[in-house]
Amino acid sequence: MSVIDLRILEKLDDSDQEKVAYFLRLLLKQSKYRKLEKEIYRRREEIKEGNSLTHDEIWKEMNV
């Protein structure tokens, strides 16, 4: 958001600022979960194709 937009938000009533903040939080959550959902889907495809490590393979790679 630009500086000018922030100045406009600061001039809003407190209740209106809270409304803007509420919708902003909703948007940020959607973006966050959309990215996570894509990652989960990609990982599931890797597992189906056998492109994942087993628990034992991970420990062997870490030399633990």
Domain boundaries, the chain: 3-61
pLDDT band at 3 (very low <50, low <70, confident <90, very high): low
- In the prediction, which pLDDT does 64 show? 67
Query: What does the mean pLDDT of the chain come to?
Result: 85
CA dist., res. 36 & res. 30, Å (int): 10
For the whole model, what pTM was predicted?
0.45
What pLDDT score was predicted for residue 34? 85
Q: Return the H-helix or E-strand segment holding 14.
A: helix 14-48
Mean pLDDT across the stretch 50-58? 85
pLDDT tens-digit readout, 7-31: 888 899 999 999 988 988 888 788 8
